[in-house]
Structure 1
Amino acid sequence: MRIITSVGCSSLFFVMLTAVPFILAASRPSNALYRGGSLSVERSSADVLISEQGTFKAGFYQVGENAFSFAIWFSETLDRQKTVVWMADRDWPVNSRGSRLSLRKRGDLALLDADANVVWTTATTTTNTTAGAGEVAELWETGNLVLMDGDMRVVWQSFDHPTDTLLPGQPLTRSLRLVSRAAEGIYTTGYYVAHFNDDNVLSFIYDGPNTSSIYWPNPDYSVFQNGRTSYNSSRYAILDDMGRFISSDRLKFSASDFGLGVKRRLTMDLDGILRLYSLNHTIKDWEVSWMPVLERCRVHGLCGENGICVYKPSPTCTCPHGFEMKVPTDWNQGCKPEFNIVCNRTEVKFIQLPHTDFYGYDLNYQTKVSLEACQNICKSDCNCRGFGYRLDGEGNCYPKSILLSGQSGSHFFGDMYIKIPKQENLTGTFDQSNAGCSKVSSPKKLDRDYASGKAQRDYLKYPIGFVIAFGVAEIICVAFGWFYIHKKTVDLRNLNQGYVVVSMGFRRFTFEELKKATNNFGDEIGRGGSGVVYKGLLDDKRVVAVKKLEGLSHGSEAQFWSEVSTIGRINHMNLVTMFGFCAEKQKRLLVYEYLENGSLEKNLFSNSTMLTWQNRYNIALGTAKALAYLHEECLEWVLHCDVKPQNVLLDKNFQPKVADFGLSKLFDRGGNNNSEFSRVRGTRGYMAPEWILNLPITSKVDVYSYGILVLELVTGRNSTGFQQIGENGEGYKQLIPWIREMSSMETLIKVALLCIEEERDVRPSMSQVVDSITVACLVVKEMNEEIE
C-alpha cells in the first residue's frame, strides 16, 4: 500500500493500519498465525492456537494476579489441569491488558508487554537466519510451536528451547536443559536442572542461591559404577512415542504403560526429580509411569541451608532447634540460626544430631581422630559450621564450611555436631513445627511500572476528528514517543539487571571507589593476558585485589552483568572469592579477595623454602578440587582455559585458591556454551594439543594444563624453561633429599602424566584426579608416621 501525502489520507491510512492486526486475527486458521497477525492477552480465551487434533493449545496463560505468560499446554478436553509444557521467558510475565504476541513484519515472533516493550522474541529476521524470516507460526500436534519461512522451512521451534518438560520426539541435546519451576503454582525458573554434564553424562543438578552440585547419578560412584559411559560425546537423548527413553550415556528406561496411543511428558519437577508422566484419559489426570531410583531426601538443597530432610514416613523438611525457616513458603531458602556465632573457640559448643549428615563442603577430612580432637579442629576454624563424626572402626572427622543437603535416618551411622554459642541451651532435636516439604506459594500480583500516555498504544480511542485534524503530527509524535519510551524501558531493565547482580551477595563498585581503594592504581601485584591486578583497601578495611579487564568482547552491559552474576554465584573453598565488580562506560573491573602468599609461580620458581612437600600435596589436591567443582558441580559450563601457577594463589597457610576461573565466560566464546571457542585460549607451555589441532574443546583442556602444573609442582621446573636448584655449587646438597622425597611423589607424577595424554578421552576427569591424590596423601601420611 502506498501512503498518500495529503493530511486527510495519511490520517485515514493511520486508522486503517491500526485495524489490520484485528482483521488478520479474525481471518487466520486456529492452528496458525501469519505475518502481521497478533494474539491479544485481553482475548486470551479466544486468541489461541490449537493443534490439528486438539491435543495442545498455545496462548496467554495466567500465572498470577494481573500477570500472563505465552505458553503451550495440554488442552482442557484431555487434561483438567491444563498442564503447561513450555513458556516464553517464564521469568518475565506480561500485563493482563495491552500485551500481545505478534508475528511482526520483520519476520520474528515477539511477546510485547503493555508498554510495547519486547519481552521475548525468536530473533528470526531476514538478517539473522539463513532460511529467511518467519512467515507463519503453527502449533503442531506434537506440541511443537514452529515458525516457518515462505518456503515452509523451519526457522525456529519451541522444541529447541525447552523449559521444564520434554515431549515425545523432542530431543535433549548438549546445549539444552530442563529446569524446574520455582514452586507449586509459580512458573518462574527453579533450582533443579537436568542436562548433560561435561563428562557426557545426563545428570541432575541443584543450582541454589549460593551453590550448585550434582546429586544424580550418585556422585559417590564413578561414571561406570553408575552404569553410564562418558565415551559417547554426542550428548543426545530422546523419548519416543512408545514411552521408551534412550540416551547416549547408556541411560535407558521405559514407561510402565509402554506402547502407542498414550499422551506422555517427561518433567523436571520442583522437588528435583525427573518423572515420566502418562495421561489417564478416564480421570483426565497424570500418573507417574517412571522415575529414577533416588531417595527423595538425597536430592541436594531440598530443605535449603541448615535444613534437614527426614522420613515421617514421607520426606519432610525440618530445622534443628535454635533455627527457623528463612521464608515460610519456600524450603529451598533453608533455615536461619536464631543466634550469632563468634569466632572464639572458648565461647562455642556443639549440639549433637544423631544419625544425621550434611553432604559435601568438607573443610579438611581427618581419619583416626577422637571426637574431642574433631571438636577442637572445628572450634579452631572460624569457617567451620559443624562437623560430622563416624566411629565405624576408624574415627572419621568431617568439618563442614556449609551445612547443606541435610539428611537424617537410621541408615546414617554417624552423627552431626552443629556449632552454637556456649550460653545457648539447646538440644539436638528437630523443630517439628516447621515440618513439611510443601513449597506452595500464592501467585503474586504483577508489580511493574509502565510509562503512561504515549506508551499505551490504543490508537482507536482517539476521536476520529482529532485524528483527521492532526494525523501527520500525531504520527511524528508517536514515533518520537516510541523511541523515547523504548530507550527508557531498556534503561530500566538494565537497571533491574544490575539490582539482581547486587542481590546475589556482592556489590557494584564505582570506578572512583576502586581508584581510591587502590591509591590511583598504584600498587600493581600482577598482570596477565586478561588484565592488570592491583592491591587495594576498601572502606570497610578489607584488603582486596582489583583486576582491570582488558580485551573484553563488545557485548552489552546487561550481558556483562549476567556473566558476572554467574561467576559471583560460584562458591568453593579452593576458588578465589569475588566481592564485586565495576562497569562504567568502557571500564570493566573485578574485585577479589586478597591472598597473602601471592601466586604459586612466585613461590615455586624462586629460592623460597616455604613450599614443603606436604604443602605441594595440598596445593595439588586443592587445585584439583576447584577444577572438579567447575567442571562437574557447577550449573554453568565453566572451563578455566588458563590453568597455570600464576592463576593459583596461596593464602597465609599455603592453601590454594584458583583465580581467573570465570574470565572465559566474559570473553567472546563464539556463540554458545558448547565446545566452540572463537579463538585459542591459554598460555604457551600449558595448552592442550586440541587447541592447536582445532579439535572440540572440552574440560580435558583444563586437565592437560593441570598435569603440566603438577609436574612443575613436583620438579620445581618451569614448563617454558628449566631452573637450577640452588646456587654456587649448593644445588647437589639440596638435590639429594629432594630425590629421596621423589618416591613419595610417584602417584602425583602418574596422575600428571595421565592428565597430559595427547588423546583427550584417555585423560581422567577432575573428580578422578581428586580421588587419586587423596589416596596418595593418605599413603604419604602413613609413611611419615612410620618414619617418625
Structure 2
Amino acid sequence: MANRDRPVNGRGSRISLQRDGAMVLNDIDGSNVWETNTTSANVDRAELLDSGNLALKDPSGKILWQSFDFPIDTLLPNQPLTKSKKLVSLLARKSFYSGYFSFYFDSDNVLKLMYDGPDISSLYWPNPDYNVYQNGRTNYNSSRLAVLDEMGSFSSSDRLQFGATDLGFGIKRRLTIDYDGNLRLYSLNNSSGLWDITWVALTEECTVHGICGRNGICVYTPDPKCSCPPGYEVSDPSNWIKGCKPKFNQTCSQAKDVKFVEIPEVDFYGFDLNYSNQISIDACRKLCVEDCRCEAFSYRLTGQGVCYTKGTLFNGYRSPGFPGSIYLKLPATLEITESNSLNGANPTCTLQESKISIGSLSMYNNSSKNLRWVYLYWFVSVIGAIEVVLVLLSWSLLFRGKGVPTSMEDGYRLMASQFRKFSYAELRKVTKKFKEELGRGASGVVYKGVLADERVVAVKRLGDMYQGEEVFRAELGTIGKINHMNLVRMWGFCSEHSHRVLVYEHIENGSLDKHLFPPNLLGWKERFKVALGTAKGLAYLHHECLEWVIHCDVKPENILLDSDYEPKIADFGLAKLSQRGSPSTEFSQIRGTKGYMAPEWALNLPITAKVDVFSYGVVILELVKGMRLSYWMSEASEGTENVLTSFAGVVKRDIHLGKKSGIEDIVDPRLEGQFSRNQAAKFVEIGISCVDEDRNKRPTMDWVVQVLLECEDEA
C-alpha cells in the first residue's frame, strides 16, 4: 500500500513511472500523493517479482527500490524484517488505515506485539509477566533480523522460531498482524481459494491488550466480543477502541457513599496502585475505599489472598481459568437496572482460537477444581451461608412477575440459579395441563406454556431415560453453564418424584423443517443465516465449553428459528456428556435420527464430536436442495446412506475434473435462481467434507464457521 492513511480516488487516480526515475501516485486532481525516492537514480523499469516484491531496477537489473523495504501489515516469504521496519495492523476489517497494533523489534532486540492506542501503549506478546529468557527469547544479539522462508518456517535473531502446520515448498504463505492485534501465519489453500491459518501467536484473543478500550471487557461468546461492566456504557458502538464511559461522576467518596459490584473471573491487566498478599478481602476493599485514585480492586485466591487495587481499567478480559474477581467501585446511589451481562451473554466458556486446530495455552497452571477446594477450605462457613441466601434471593426476584430487570435474567452473578426450580403442579398450570403440543422427539414431548410474568415458554417432559436423579442433575448442571445466541436457552426445570421437566425459551418461528421443506419455501439469505448460526452453535458446544458437549441428534427438527430467522439449536446436553480429552467416549445406546446419523453409530466406534459434524453436513446439503435427503436422487430406494455416498462421489468427481457449472442443477429450483452461486458451491463443498465416511477426514465445526464467514458477504 502506498500512503495508506491518505487514500486516493479509486476511479481517477493513477500510478506511473516517471522519466526522472520516480514511481508516483497521483490523485484525481493531479496532486502528488506518494512517490519513491529514486529521482536521481538510473531507473530503467519496474517489475513485480514472483516473490511479491515490487522492484525498480537499473539497466543492469540492480534493484534501486523495492516494496519489501516498506512492509504494511504483512510479511512475505524471504522478506526480511529488520530493526528499522515494523508491521502495523489495519484499523478495522475493511479499513486500510493504520491501526493500533504493531509487530516489531523493540530496543531490547526482542520481537514483540504492542498496542499503541489513543490512551495507552502496552506490550502483550510475548507474555509480559515473564522475562526475556522465561519467554524463550534472548536479547543478546545485534542483528535484529527475522525472516519467513519458503518452507513456512520463521526464525529470528532473538531465537523466536515457529513453523506452519503444513511445512513444505510450493505453498503460498503470508505472516500478517490482523486488525484484532493477533499475529497469524496463513497458507493459501489452492482447492478452496481460502487462506488457512497455520500458526497463531495468541490462542486466546482476549489477551490482546487495548482491544476493548478503557473500562471495556473482552469476553468469549464464543467469538471474542467487547462489553461494558455494570455502571458503564459504550462510548462509541462503531469503535470499541474508545471503550466504555462511566454513567456516574468519579469523585473521592467516603466508605458509606460507595459500593462494590463483583464480576467473577474478570481481571484488568496492569495499572496496579497497590499489591498485597496474605490479605483478606475486607482489607483489600478498604485499601480501595481509602484511595481516591482506585476505580476497582482485583482479589484472587491462590492459596492466599492476593489484592491489586486499580487506578485505571484497561485490558479487561474474562476467563473461567482466572482464580479471582474484579470488584468495581461505584456510587452507592447508582442503580443498575439494565442488562449488565457482558453483551447480553453469560460466557462461561474460554476460546481456544476458533479458527485453527492447535492446542490452547492455559493462562494459569492451577486448575479451577483445585482453586474451588481452596476456596471452600478457607471460607466454607461464611461463603456457604451467603451463597444459600443469594440463591434464594435470586430465585425470588427473577420470577416474581412483571418488571423483573433483564440484568436479573441475564446476569452473570446468578451462579447456579440462572434458572429456577418449578413445581410439577405449577408447570401443569402454565401449560393448561400440557394441552398445546409443540413437538416431540426421542427425548420427550414439548408443550407451550405461559408463565405468570407472561413469558411464553417451551416445556419439555423428558422420557424414562431421565429417571435417574444423579444423571439428571449432572446434565442439568452442565446445560445451565451453556449460553450462546445460537443455542436455545433454559429458564428452569422440575425434578419431582418421577417427573423430569425442562423449561426453555419459546422460539417464535418453530423448527427449520417447517420452513425449508415443501410446500414451504425458505429464502437463500435465511438459509445462509441458518447454516452459519448452526455452525457457530455447534462450534461453541464442541470447542469452547468447559464441558465438551456432543449433541448427537442434529437435524432440522432440532434447529429452531426466531423472529429474525436466526437459528437456535435445541436439545443439546441431553445426550451423555464426554469429558474433554477422553480417548474412549462411549454411549450406552444409539442416539440420533436415521438419515442424520454418522456411520460410527452402526460400526460401534467411540462417539466423538464428529457425529455432529456428519449430521450438520446432511443438514447443510438439505439447505442447498430444499428437501429431505432421501428425495434427492433416484437412488433413494437404496437407502439414505447410499444416496449420500452416490451424491458425494458425483460431486467429488466434478470437483476433480474442474466442473463448476453444475451447481444450478443441485440448488433448490424453487428459488428460481435467487441465490448466491459462490455460497451454494461452498455449502456443497462443506457438506461433502462433513459427511465423509472416514470421520478423521471430516472438518471441525470451528473450521466450518471460518469458511462460511469468508463468504458471508458474497453475492
TM-score (normalizing by structure 1):
0.42
